[in-house]
Amino acid sequence: MTSVFNRRTALGLLGAGSAAFLAACAPLRSVKKGAESPNESASESPASTASASPTAQKKDYSGEARLEKYDTSAGTYEPGTSEHPPRNMPKPIKPDNMNENSVAGFYSNLAFYVAGLEYALRSGNTMYMDQVKLEKREKESFEGDFNKLISYVAGGVIWFSNPKVVFDLKSPEPSKANQYYLWPAEIKAYYGTHVYAVNGNSKALSASEQKNSGNAVFRGEYIDGVWQIGTLGALQSS
């Protein structure tokens, strides 16, 4: 099991030695034949033919999965500095159609998921990403280094100057294989120019250290009125 964030960096500032610095995007698994992937013999078809939707369908969802609404009442967002972590993070607002059995509903789950991951990286609070129903192995993959990092961010022990996470969808709509909807994507993670620690240490990140990216496939299944999300694929450092 791998992660979007696989560089070794910031935890060293905290005296954590060579602990892997793993961050917020959905950790991704290498797809092995006969394991974790949908039935390889299943025929695929455009998802738009599989389920009706009361919501007007957007025909081309390719590109960055964007959440439409945020709560910005905290004030103007301020990136982190050596003196303070990021402030006044916009709070994701859950889309009304997240539980809709449609391509639009699947898309809204991905948009809310990535917004929640970004919020967690900035604030250390996972309350929004926790509102997305994840496959069991997807949830388990956040245990360990990711939770450790988030606990440091939450405690103000370590923070990034301006983290951002992007799900860049590579097809207008997902394909369908059996009960699964499959959406290829590139996941991009940006940390900002610096990583800071409460003990006064900081590290200026090189251009290559400021981002990670890699290809993946989001897997959605509509179960009991909600979308369940998983991620297939392996990411490489960029």
Averaged pLDDT for residues 54-78? 86
Distance CA 88, CA 111 (A): 20
- Greater confidence, 186 or 13? 186
What is d(CA 113, CA 25) in angstroms, rounded to the nearest whole number? 9
Residue 193 pLDDT more than 50? yes
* Residue 88 predicted with pLDDT over 90: yes
Q: Which helix (H) or strand (E) holds 149?
A: helix 145-154
Mean per-residue pLDDT, 174-197: 93
Q: Would you say 22 and 146 are in contact if contact means Cβ atoms under 8 Å apart?
A: yes
DSSP codes joined into one string, 19-33: -----SSPP-B--BT
Token pair of 69, please? Answer: 């609404």
Going by pLDDT thresholds of 50, 70 and 90, the confidence category of residue 208 is confident
Q: What is the pLDDT of residues 7-43, one digit of tens each?
A: 333 333 333 322 323 333 333 333 333 334 444 334 4
Structure confidence at residue 96 (pLDDT): 97
Structure tokens at 231: 């991620």
List, as one string, the DSSP characters of 74-90: T-S-B---SS---BSPP
* pLDDT at residue number 165: 92
Rounded Cα gap, residues 209 and 7, in angstroms: 8
Q: 202 or 4: which carries more pLDDT confidence?
A: 202
Least confident span in 79-88, 216-225, 227-236: 227-236
Per domain, the residue ranges of the chain are 10-30+57-232
- DSSP per-residue letters across 227-238: EEEEEE---B--
The Cα 84–Cα 187 span in angstroms is 27
